[in-house]
Amino acid sequence: MVVCYLQQQFRVNSGTDIYTGRGLKPSIVDQYEAGIKNEFLDGKLSANFSIYRIINNDLAVTAPFLADGATPNSDATKKQFNGQTTSDGLEVDVNGYLSPNLYFIVGYAYNFMRYTKTSGLKGSSIEGEQIVINPRNTANASIFYTFSANTLRGFKVGASAFYTGSRRAVTIIQLAKHRLLAVYCLLVVLLRLILPRGIPTKRCPYWQGLIT
């Protein structure tokens, strides 16, 4: 199945304009997306792939300085419009059953979000500058096994791993020698007891760790 769509929407912005003191106007966001979904092996395996472009015509961010342009701003609700941003990306995920008891999910996403139009004034963002705290690459994988033997019937065990690629810690304007935040992975192991229908399901986290 192939899906394509175009969408224009108003994105409500919270906070107040650093220069006028009034509530922020909405940003206009244009989204273009195309994707394909298919099933294989008599429905045991499902795969999805999509590509997109999202254009935010005026991104609202926390203002680094007050209206005088010199005093640092410590109020996160005071914001300014930094210019147009464009996100180009893709997403792919595959899930299915390796056996009646073994289920898996894997996914990968790429997102390049950067400024494509700015005012060019002193202190403004630079065209082509990547958005802060926005990784280009993320991925995840999960696998679950449900026991069917009489002695362990109702137990499910699984593990999930999440990957986040490097991303900028500060803007180029804020720090000329900007640094990147490190890549990190999160691993979660879960034990789950599936009770008879009508009785609430209980989950028991067994171990969780952060690997950087």
Domain ranges for the chain, please list them: 2-211
Residues in the chain, total: 212
Over range 46-56, report the average pLDDT. Answer: 96
Residue 76: both structure tokens together: 């996160």
What is the pLDDT, as a whole number, of residue 130?
A: 85
Report which of residues 119 and 10 the model is more confident about.
Answer: 10
Q: Does domain 2-211 have CATH number 2.40.170.20?
A: yes
One-letter amino acid at 55 equals I
Coil, strand or helix at 150: helix
Report which of residues 181 and 93 the model is more confident about.
Answer: 93
Nearest of 204, 132, 208, 212 to residue 174 by alpha carbon = 132
pLDDT in tens, 132-175: 778 899 999 999 888 887 777 767 888 888 888 877 766 544 44
Does the pLDDT value for residue 196 go beyond 60? Answer: no
What is the pLDDT, as a whole number, of residue 85?
A: 94
CA 138/CA 92 separation, integer angstroms: 11
Cβ-based burial of 93 (10 A; exposed 0-12, middle 13-18, buried ≥19): middle
Q: Tell me, what DSSP letter sits at residue 73?
A: P
CA 10/CA 204 separation, integer angstroms: 41
CB–CB of 45/27 below 8 Å? no
The mean pLDDT of the chain is 81
Instruction: For residue 197, name the pLDDT band (cuts at 50, 70, 90).
Output: low
Over range 69-85, report the average pLDDT. Answer: 88
Does the pLDDT value for residue 204 go beyond 70? Answer: no
Does the pLDDT value for residue 104 go beyond 80? Answer: yes
Over range 178-188, report the average pLDDT. Answer: 63
Measured at the alpha carbon of residue 24, what is the angle toward residues 19 and 29, in degrees to the nearest 5?
125
- Whole-number Cα distances in Å, 149 to 48, 101, 132, 153: 33, 11, 50, 5
Cβ-based burial of 47 (10 A; exposed 0-12, middle 13-18, buried ≥19): middle
